[in-house]
């Protein structure tokens, strides 16, 4: 259970509001609120000191109506079945909003990767893949990196699967190294998508992204790439926090120096070009855009009243609790929901999967051009739906997603 209750229950709360507005049929409603498959596995690993540890792993395939399941694998001490199920559901809606032919899945292992050697991580990854091998594949379920996993871990996933099936299968996983069939532009894709929807929101709301003040929580892949790309548009990144601390400069942080500092120290804490800053202070800053790009349940009823941004772009999955989101909306804050805002990653994962299956790879400019087109179309679909139904963007995104998955579910009919 999450600190603020079940994350899956929070997802259902968001789903229900949109489903009611759509007048979704009761039978379809029941199907779309139950995960198709939940897998729990035990992964014994011999550690470097000779001891055997048994790790718990999960893989949830929430819905595969639109195509193969798609979703990351995270390594974290707080991974739970509830969290993985909610994230798999969000992936279902995210793929539908992005209008790509994937269903939703998610995986996770309860572990602390910061306390494990590379050999231990490889052994754990390979054992986990071996345990779920029958459930994954290019036509079944295509994993990707997530919290605390990367392209090296995806290479181990691909190799383990390939060894089992007897041939190299690059399309079983995305987020791989370029040398193994990865896609150019994939690493930056989620952050690029965040930049695109933030730019489109500024255009819709009538303020100039150039010179706009932006605060970012989380400076991992999504937060750092978003910051870099928005700065290139002329935006001022005034505040950044991460797991250890934060930094603030009202005139705008020097992004180049900050990125170098973060690479060298693995944190933005102590950056000499700004003043120290906490998460609480970051959320309360008077800025044009706030980008939560860390973990779930970061904007809650405890801090939502203090938020003073015009736009909240959800770079992370589920960073705002339902009650907090309702309050932000009532206060006139334009919230771009996670299932739209951070769908750049899964969209470019789809491009990678297509390239692997086709055996032909695109130049980075082509990947970015295709991503720009898909993100702008998705933003416009959600915006127009919000205006039609007179609802916030999160409810609108769910309406778009549920409508697409529900329509295909009805077309396919019941197999019995």
Q: Which residues are catalytic?
A: 106
Tally Cβ neighbours within 10 Å of residue 31. Answer: 17
Residue position matching structure tokens 């540890």? 53
183 vs 176: CA distance, rounded Å: 8
304 vs 296: CA distance, rounded Å: 14
- The residues, ordered by sequence, that sit 6+ positions from 286 with a Cβ below 8 Å of its Cβ are 213, 308, 309
The candidate with the shortest Cα–Cα distance to 246, out of 210, 213, 194, 285, is 285
334 vs 397: CA distance, rounded Å: 13
Q: Which two tokens stand for residue 225?
A: 């790439």
Give the 3-state secondary structure of residue 333.
coil
Give the 3-state secondary structure of residue 45.
strand
Tally Cβ neighbours within 10 Å of residue 243. Answer: 13
The candidate with the shortest Cα–Cα distance to 255, out of 275, 234, 276, is 234
156-161: long-range contacts (C-beta < 8 A, 24 or more apart)?
Answer: 156/122, 156/125, 156/126, 156/129, 157/73, 157/125, 157/129, 160/125, 160/126, 160/129, 160/130, 160/133, 161/129, 161/133, 161/136, 161/137
């Amino acid at each position: 259970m999450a600190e603020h209750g079940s994350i899956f229950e929070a997802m259902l709360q968001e789903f229900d509001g949109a489903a009611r507005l759509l007048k979704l049929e009761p039978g379809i409603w029941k199907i779309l609120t139950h995960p198709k498959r939940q897998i729990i596995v035990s992964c014994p690993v011999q550690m470097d000191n000779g001891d055997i540890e048994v790790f718990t792993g999960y893989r949830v395939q929430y819905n595969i109506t639109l195509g193969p399941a798609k979703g990351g694998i995270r390594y974290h001490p707080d991974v739970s079945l509830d969290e993985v199920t909610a994230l798999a559901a969000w992936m279902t809606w995210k793929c539908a909003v992005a209008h790509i032919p994937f269903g939703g899945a998610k995986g996770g292992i309860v572990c602390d990767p910061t306390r494990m050697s590379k050999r231990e991580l490889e052994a754990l990854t390979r054992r986990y893949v071996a345990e779920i091998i029958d459930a994954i594949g290019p036509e079944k379920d295509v994993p990707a990196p997530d919290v605390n996993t990367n392209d090296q871990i995806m290479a181990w996933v691909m190799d383990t699967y390939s060894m089992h099936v007897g041939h190299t299968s690059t399309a079983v996983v995305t987020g791989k190294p370029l040398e193994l069939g990865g896609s150019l532009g994939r690493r930056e894709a989620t952050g690029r998508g965040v930049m695109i929807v933030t730019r489109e929101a500024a255009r819709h709301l009538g303020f100039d992204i150039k010179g706009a003040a932006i605060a970012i929580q989380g400076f991992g892949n999504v937060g750092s790439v978003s910051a870099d790309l928005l700065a290139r548009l002329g935006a001022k990144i005034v505040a950044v926090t991460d797991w250890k601390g934060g930094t603030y400069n009202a005139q705008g942080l020097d992004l180049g120096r900050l990125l170098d500092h973060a690479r060298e120290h693995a944190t933005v804490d102590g950056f000499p070009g700004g003043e120290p800053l906490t998460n609480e202070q970051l959320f309360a800053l008077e800025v044009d855009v706030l980008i939560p790009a860390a973990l779930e349940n970061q904007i809650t009823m405890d801090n939502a009243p203090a938020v003073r941004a015009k736009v909240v772009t959800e770079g992370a999955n589920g960073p705002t609790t339902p009650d907090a989101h309702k309050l932000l909306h009532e206060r006139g804050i334009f919230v771009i929901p996670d299932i739209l805002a951070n769908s750049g990653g899964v969209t470019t994962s789809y491009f990678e999967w297509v390239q692997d299956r086709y055996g032909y790879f695109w130049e980075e400019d082509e990947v970015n051009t295709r991503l720009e087109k898909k993100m702008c179309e998705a933003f416009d679909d959600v915006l127009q739906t919000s205006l039609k139904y007179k609802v916030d963007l999160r409810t609108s995104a769910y309406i778009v997603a549920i409508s697409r998955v529900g329509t295909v579910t009805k077309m396919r009919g019941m197999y019995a």
